[in-house]
Structure 1
Amino acid sequence: MSPAPFRRAERLAGIEISEIVQLSERAAELRRAGQDVVALTTGEPDFPTPPHVVAAAHAAAEAGQTRYPPTAGTPELRAAIARQAGAEAAEVLVSTGAKQVLANAMLATLDPGDEVLIPAPFWTSYGDIVALAGGRPVRLPCPAADGFKLRPEALAAAITPRTRWLMLNSPSNPTGAVYGPGELAALAAVLADHPQVWVLSDEIYSHLAYVPAPSLRDAAPGLAERTLVVDGVSKAFAMTGWRLGWGIGPRALIGAMAAVQGQVTSGACSISQAAALAALTGPQELLADRRAAFRARRDRVCAALAAIPGISCVPPDGAFYAFPDVTGLILGGGFADDAALCRWLLDEVGLALVPGRAFGMPGHVRLSFAYAEREIDDALDRLATAAARLAARPFQASKEQVTT
Structure 2
Amino acid sequence: MNLALSKTIAKLRRNHLAGNAQINQLEDLDGEVVALLALPDGKLMLGINLDGSFCIARLTADLQLDTSFQEVGYFEDDFNDHAFGFAAVTHLALRGETLLVTAAQFDFFDWIDRPALASYTLEGEPDLSFGDHGKVVVELPDSTGKNRKRLRSSLTPVGSPQTLDDGKILLFFLEVRDTNPDGSALLIRLNANGSLDDSLNGSGVVHVTFNERGINPKGVLTQGQKLLVFGGTQPVDSTGYALIARYDASGHLDTSFNDSGFVAVGIEGQVARFNSLLIDEDDTLVAVGNQGAQVLMAKRLPEGATDPDFNGGTALAFALPELDGEGFDVDQLYAMRAHNRSLVVAGTGSLRSGPFQRKGVLLRLLPNGQLDGTFAGGHGYRIADIRSEYYDLLIEPQAIVTAGYYVDDAYHAWVQRFGIDG
More strand as a share of residues: 2
Greater RCO structure (CA 8 Å; 6+ sep): 1
| Fold match by TM threshold 0.5 | no
Q: Which TM-score applies when normalising by structure 2?
A: 0.26
Question: Counting helix residues as a fraction of each chain, which structure ranks higher?
Answer: 1
Q: TM-score, normalised by structure 1?
A: 0.27
Structure showing greater Rg: 1
